[in-house]
Amino acid sequence: MSGWSKCIWGARAMLKIDNINLYYGAAQALRGVSLTAEPGKVTCVLGRNGVGKTSLLRAMVGQYPIASGAINFDGKDITALKPYERARRGIGFVPQGREIFPLLTVEENLKTGFGPLKREDRNIPNDVFSLFPVLETMLGRRGGDLSGGQQQQLAIGRALVMRPKLLLLDEPTEGIQPSIIKDIGRAISYLRNLGNIAIVLVEQYLDFACELGDSFAVMDRGAVKYACDRANLDPAEISRQMAL
Amino acid sequence: MVKARGDQEALALLTGLGDQPPLVTKAAASAVSSIQSNLAMWSMVQNAWYGLSLGSVLLLAAIGLAITFGVMGVINMAHGEMVMLGAYTTFVVQEVIRTRYPALFDYSLLIAVPLAFLVAGFIGVLIERTIIRFLYGRPLETLLATWGLSLVLQQAVRTAFGPTNREVGNPSWMSGAFELGQITITYNRLWILCFTLAVFAILLAMLRYTALGLEMRAVTQNRRMAASMGIATSRVDALTFGLGSGIAGIAGVALSQIDNVSPNLGQSYIIDSFMVVVFGGVGNLWGTLVGAFTLGIANKFLEPVAGAVLGKIAILVLIILFIQKRPRGLFALKGRAVEA
Amino acid sequence: MTPHILTRSLDRAATAFVLLVAAVGVLIPLSNLLLPQGSMFQVPTYLVALWGKYVCYAILALSIDLIWGYCGILSLGHGAFFALGGYAMGMYLMRQIGSRGVYGNPILPDFMVFLNWDKLPWYWYGFDKFAFAALMVLVVPGLLAFCFGWLAFRSRVTGVYLSIITQAMTYALLLAFFRNDFGFGGNNGLTDFKDILGFNVQAEGTRAALFLLSCLALIIAFLICRAIVSSKLGKVLIAVRDAESRTRFLGYRVESYKLFVFTLSACMAGVAGALYVPQVGIINPSEFAPANSIEAVIWVAVGGRGTLIGAALGAVVVNYAKTFFTSGPLAPYWLFMLGALFILVTLLLPKGIVGTFNSWWEPRRSTGIAADEASAAREDGISAAKMAE
């Protein structure tokens, strides 16, 4: 029982986004985007700057209200839920820029993920420290004092503490040194291989995404304009689509 | 021999000696100077004690503000009125005890503390839910709205309890005084000092070690991310504001023991409280502690030199100048974390 | 095209306002002096003094709106500048009493005789001359504001911190002026005035003239503010209000701009105070009370922050309501109403009366293009804040 408690258990939950539109004032950021994320799979969203990748993720976690369309998660419509309610249903979020709580220690940052958990499950899963050993050595350090790479690992670890059913990662490789990118890639494939977590990875770093992804969606001007899955993956074609 | 007595009377005796043989005069002179330095030392101790006492009162009044202003960034001009509500809660508790259970009078404060916390805390939550939550991100508007609220609360209390001072008694364990060397320490001041430090310690522990404390700090530092971690931010806001208000209510219980309980009670503390928080450094409870005691002691050491009112003015001017020098206060948060 | 319509429409409103104030300034004294007592249209003398007071408050409100509405500096100590101007005028009026005081001392005011002072303190010298006193009405508040602002703006004390220390400033002055040995009459302040420039301050004619002068001062203050906010300088001020750091990085010396309007605003408040004192007949330390300064801010908020006409209007409306309610059977409820006003205006009417009217009227009038710049910018700020939440 306690062994189970210290795991990242996930659940076989599916995310379905159906034809969503999002506006910032008069500017339309998302145009009829549909996307599916399955458990045990990594769904990659690719595209240049400003095509709506981050807006899409922020719409999924509920930080930006969508104008129309539906978001369905684990068989239920979550379109109208507040961000914290979505988090409590098992959506873990690793935002762009990491958004570590700067004045909390590493340990406290991890503990912020306890909110959605039952009292007996409120612990930090062993996997977090085996995936990112550096966090264990820095538990007492303030989050804001970590380097960028360490913060990125902390951000992922923090989301894992919530035992997410769906993990959303927004450019986890941005500005990170290659060895840590490798660690992060290893972590993502480990989580995928657990089989119970659906992962959405937003990236600009094509090689990284191609290595991990099971299905791919390329965005341009707020819409998905090209999609494929691992079976018919052609990196050159994706690269061409992204460059257009 | 007279020197050993070392007090004011002995000094008078020695200086009044008049014509004596030279040896005696010389001995007397040395005794006089030693007594004088002794007295000066004790008057320093006395000032320091008064300063600590004043500092504890300032800290008590400011500590709730350190949470609402320092942690949440909400300017609550009605903070003083929360203190006042706490004092009136004490008054009501004592009235009930006097008429119904006179034997319990010595416990009246023990009953009043949790009640005052609940009354002020409840009203705090109410205020946050009905007014303040619509004004997040607009500090100047918050300031005006809460000022209006303070007028309403004052007038409400004036209507309910009358405009005059209300009698709040000291329980027996808070009355009286004892001598320590040459200074007199009153029990009520001593208890208030201890009480203040206890409240401070509990609050600090609460913020550091409880789940709610962690959530409060997370919400303060990054509201949006905290929500995405599953923290119900609006609930945390209401509770934080309630906590700050509740502590103000507790402060009111203590202040009812040394100050007049009137509808204007809160007004007299609000500026001082803000000074303490700003001087100590916003967002830092330890800064508030050091700020309160520094201001308290500085005030009491200036008083004999400059007089009570001028001393206070001097302190205000010094703080104004200090803020220009260090806008983030005495204990500004430092390091990479703040720049991020 | 659009800015042209905007300035023209604003000019029209501004002209109307100036004409209205001028008309009031002339008609009220005339009706008071010329029409027979008891006539339906005769304005009694006490009302002339009362409305004179409102006009002074309107000038104070304008001075606050200039810095708060257009430059984002919320001063909670503007009452101090108002009171200092008032004290400068009060000192002149005290010196004019001469030997007609209770103690009959030709030089020393009564309270100094009472305190057994044997000579005039140095800072009272020169106040027997009107020109000097009038100069001091501008110089004293201006100098204080300059020093205070120089220290505060240079070290980038902004937002609520500035509000709090301005409040501490007026509180310190309150404590100081309460002291007898400070030499300004202590608790009782300065009162029992007799003459101003040789005219009896109580006389109807003098009061009518003071009223006219107050209206004139309001018009001048309004025109100065208008000139500032519609100039290039005004654009910089609004930029400072909406994005101070960005304005600084664009190369503007933000603190110089702020210091200039802050000092100017303090001088305006001083003039308001100086006109106020002879009309109400007393100045005492309670004018320094922090509550007064905050109340003045709410006049601006009620009328419409960032609309000059609104500030003046708000001062008159709120004070009229105050007089109306505090003199009737509703007196105990006035503080409830004032408190509720603070809360409701900030929550429900953040643009104030005039601002709300403008944003309702403008789109109707000019096909939705000429919406008030200031209020649009404010709305952006609010929605951004909401989004951040």
pLDDT in tens, B171-218: 888 888 888 877 888 888 899 999 999 999 999 999 889 999 999 989
Q: Flag if A108 and B231 touch (Cβ within 8 Å).
A: no
Residue C384: pLDDT band with limits 50, 70, 90: very low
Question: C343 and chain B: CB distance < 8 Å anywhere?
Answer: yes
Distance from CA of C200 to the nearest CA of B (A): 37
ipTM: 0.90
Shortest CB distance from A115 goes to which of B217, B225, B230? Answer: B230
Higher per-residue pLDDT: C360 or C372: C360
**Apex B138 CA angle, B137 and B144, nearest 5:** 145
Residue with tokens 């303060």: B220
Secondary structure (DSSP) of B79-129: HHHHHHHHHHHHHHHHHHHHHH-GGGGGGHHHHHHHHHHHHHHHHHHHHHH
Distance from CA of C336 to the nearest CA of B (A): 5
Cβ atoms A234, A78 nearer than 8 A: no
Question: B233 and chain A: CB distance < 8 Å anywhere?
Answer: yes
Q: What is the distance between the alpha carbons of residues C68 and C75, in angstroms, rounded to a whole number?
A: 7
Q: How many residues does chain B have?
A: 340
Cβ atoms A197, A40 nearer than 8 A: yes
B298: its two tokens: 């500085």
A133: its two tokens: 């050993």
Distance from CA of B76 to the nearest CA of A (A): 24
Tell me the β-bridge partners of A216.
A44, A228
DSSP state at residue A121? G
Report C:62-101 residues touching B (Cβ under 8 A): 74, 76
Q: Tell me what pLDDT residue A3 has.
A: 59
Q: Flag if A95 and B228 touch (Cβ within 8 Å).
A: yes
Where do the domains of chain A lie, and which CATH numbers do they carry?
2-243 (3.40.50.300)
Q: What is the distance between the alpha carbons of residues C132 and C89, in angstroms, rounded to a whole number?
A: 10
pLDDT in tens, C196-215: 888 888 888 899 999 999 99
Q: Tell me what pLDDT residue B153 has.
A: 94
How confident is the prediction for chain C on average, in pLDDT?
A: 86
A160: its two tokens: 């894992």
Q: Which residues of A138-166 are buried (b: 16+ CB within 10 A; e: fewer)?
A: beebbbbbbeebbbbbbbbbbbbbbbbbb
Cβ atoms C66, C264 nearer than 8 A: yes
For residue C175, the domain's CATH number is 1.10.3470
Average pLDDT over residues C18-22: 91
Cβ atoms A118, A153 nearer than 8 A: no
pLDDT in tens, C127-148: 989 999 999 999 999 999 999 9
Domain span holding position C56: 2-388
Q: Is the pLDDT of residue B16 over 80?
A: no
Q: What is the distance between the alpha carbons of residues C160 and C75, in angstroms, rounded to a whole number?
A: 9
Q: What is the distance between the alpha carbons of residues B64 and A9, in angstroms, rounded to a whole number?
A: 42
C219: its two tokens: 């018009």
Cβ atoms B112, B93 nearer than 8 A: yes
Cβ atoms C296, C78 nearer than 8 A: yes
Q: Tell me what pLDDT residue C165 has.
A: 87
Residue C7: pLDDT band with limits 50, 70, 90: low
CB atoms within 10 A of CB C36: 7
Q: Subunits that touch chain B (at least 3 Cβ pairs < 8 angstroms)? A: A, C
Average pLDDT over residues C171-185: 89
Residue C389: pLDDT band with limits 50, 70, 90: very low
Average pLDDT over residues B302-331: 80
Q: How far is CA C20 from the centre of its chain?
A: 19
Q: Flag if B337 and A83 touch (Cβ within 8 Å).
A: no
How confident is the prediction for chain A on average, in pLDDT?
A: 90
Q: How many contacts (CB atoms, under 8 Å) link B and C?
A: 128
Q: Name the CATH code of domain B53-339 (choices 3.30.1540, 1.25.40, 1.10.3470, 3.30.70).
A: 1.10.3470
**Every domain of chain B and the residues it spans:** 53-339
For CA atoms B206, B212, B218, B220, give the dihedral sign.
negative
Judging contacts by C-beta atoms under 8 Å, the chain B residues touching residue C389 are: 136-137, 223-224
Give φ, ψ of C199 to 5 degrees. -100, 145
Q: How far apart are the first and last CA of chain C?
A: 38
Cβ atoms A2, A186 nearer than 8 A: no
Q: Flag if A162 and B338 touch (Cβ within 8 Å).
A: no
Q: Is the pLDDT of residue C380 over 70?
A: no
Question: B230 and chain A: CB distance < 8 Å anywhere?
Answer: yes
From residue B58, give the alpha-carbon distance in Å to each of A232, B254, B298, B299.
Answer: 71, 11, 13, 11
Q: How many residues does chain A have?
A: 244
Judging contacts by C-beta atoms under 8 Å, the chain B residues touching residue C259 are: none
Cβ atoms A30, A22 nearer than 8 A: yes
Chain B residue closest to A95 (CA)?
A: B225
Shortest CB distance from B340 goes to which of A102, A112, A114? Answer: A102
| For testing contact with chain A, the best of B215, B220, B228 (most A CBs within 10 A) | B228
| For testing contact with chain B, the best of C74, C144, C155, C160 (most B CBs within 10 A) | C160
Cβ atoms B28, B20 nearer than 8 A: yes
Average pLDDT over residues C156-170: 86
For CA atoms C200, C206, C207, C210, give the dihedral sign.
negative
Q: What is the distance between the alpha carbons of residues A126 and A116, in angstroms, rounded to a whole number?
A: 18
pLDDT in tens, B100-113: 888 888 888 999 99
Of all residues in chain B, what percent carry a pLDDT higher than 90?
37
Q: Is the pLDDT of residue B139 over 90?
A: no
Q: Tell me what pLDDT residue A132 has.
A: 93
Q: What is the pLDDT along chain A (244 residues), one digit of tens a residue?
A: 445 667 777 777 789 999 999 998 888 899 999 999 999 999 999 998 889 999 999 999 999 889 999 999 988 999 999 999 999 999 999 999 889 999 899 999 999 999 888 888 888 998 899 999 999 999 999 998 999 999 999 999 999 999 999 999 999 998 899 999 999 999 999 999 988 899 999 998 889 999 999 999 999 989 998 999 888 888 888 888 888 6
Burial tier of B234 (Cβ tally within 10 Å: 0-12, 13-18, 19+) = middle
Chain B residue closest to A144 (CA)?
A: B337
How confident is the prediction for chain B on average, in pLDDT?
A: 85
Q: How far apart are the first and last CA of chain A?
A: 52
Q: Tell me what pLDDT residue B238 has.
A: 93
Judging contacts by C-beta atoms under 8 Å, the chain B residues touching residue A147 are: none
The total number of structural domains in chain C stands at 1
Judging contacts by C-beta atoms under 8 Å, the chain B residues touching residue C386 are: 137
Side chain identity, residue A2: S
Q: Tell me what pLDDT residue B309 has.
A: 81
Judging contacts by C-beta atoms under 8 Å, the chain B residues touching residue A112 are: 214-215, 218, 226, 229, 231
Counting DSSP H helices and E strands in chain B, the numbers are 14, 2
For CA atoms A141, A142, A148, A151, give the dihedral sign.
positive
Judging contacts by C-beta atoms under 8 Å, the chain B residues touching residue A93 are: 228
Residue with tokens 């001593």: B190
DSSP state at residue B78? T
